[in-house]
Structure 1
Amino acid sequence: MAKAARAAQAWKTYRSVSKPGSPGLGARLRALPRMIGAVMRGQYPGMSKGKLAMMGLGVLYIISPVDIVPDFLVLIGVADDFGVFLWLMSSLLGEGGRYVDWERDRVRAVPS
């Protein structure tokens, strides 16, 4: 993904998190373990196991000492990690917000 596209996605995620009435950052972060469990159990239709696996690979890429572009190439090596980090955070926060909304809708749909 190009730098401009990553920056645009990060900005879109920030605006989504800070929009009045949408789930806040804390709610999105707290929802991630529940979302991962629901995806693994096949209960949450909003995300595939494949996308969850891609996010897991993103985490591994960030923490791995082996990079496609070595970090000793200072600016370039760190930029690829930062690009993956931006994609991962925007994906996790975006999906987390959609999951919180999905949970909220399910609770409303259950008759009392």
Structure 2
Amino acid sequence: MALLSPWRLLRRLKSRVWATKRIARALKLFFPMTRDVIRGDFRPIPWSAFGMMALALAYLVMPFDLVPDFLMLIGVIDDVLIVGWLLNRIDQRLEEYRIWKNNDPDMMFS
């Protein structure tokens, strides 16, 4: 196995940090977006984001996984990877909401 150059290692580390930030941003925006959709303030409704969030929650609570949770570390890593991947995709679906929220006049002065 060849060693990674410092530049390739740094690029991989940056991509993982960026993915973590996207996951946090998706969780931070999803619940206010849900509130704005329910109140009718935000249209169009991002159904794919709602579907992916439901899938992520279902994967977390279902007793059947790709790797069973009783295999302590490997089972938990499997959950983290799949749910993290779904949250990363949710963040992509929330781009329209992010733009709408940044242009909201009520949010400009708060």
Task: Indicate the TM-score class for this superposition, using the shorter chain for normalisation.
Answer: 0.5 to 0.7
Correspondence 1:44 to 2:43: yes
Q: Matches of 2:81 and 2:20 in 1, distance apart?
A: 16
Q: Matches of 1:38 and 1:64 in 2, distance apart?
A: 29
Give the TM-score of the pair, scaled to structure 1. 0.51
Give the TM-score of the pair, scaled to structure 2. 0.52
Q: Matches of 1:32 and 1:91 in 2, distance apart?
A: 12
Distance 1:77-1:37 versus aligned 2 partners, 3 A rule = same
Aligned to 2:65: 67
Q: Which moved more, 1:99-108 or 1:76-85?
A: 99-108
For the pair shown, the structure with the greater C-alpha radius of gyration is: 2
Specify which structure has the bigger relative contact order, considering alpha-carbon pairs within 8 angstroms and separated by 6 or more residues.
1
Unaligned runs of 5+ in 1: 18-24
In structure 2, what residue type is equivalent to 1:44?
R
Q: CA RMSD in A?
A: 4.0
Q: Matches of 2:61 and 2:73 in 1, distance apart?
A: 18
Q: Matches of 1:90 and 1:101 in 2, distance apart?
A: 17
Percentage of pairs with the same residue: 26
Unaligned runs of 5+ in 2: 1-11
Equivalent pair of 2:53/2:86 in contact (CA under 8 Å): yes
State the number of aligned residues: 92
Pick one of 84, 87, 108 that aligns with 2:85.
87
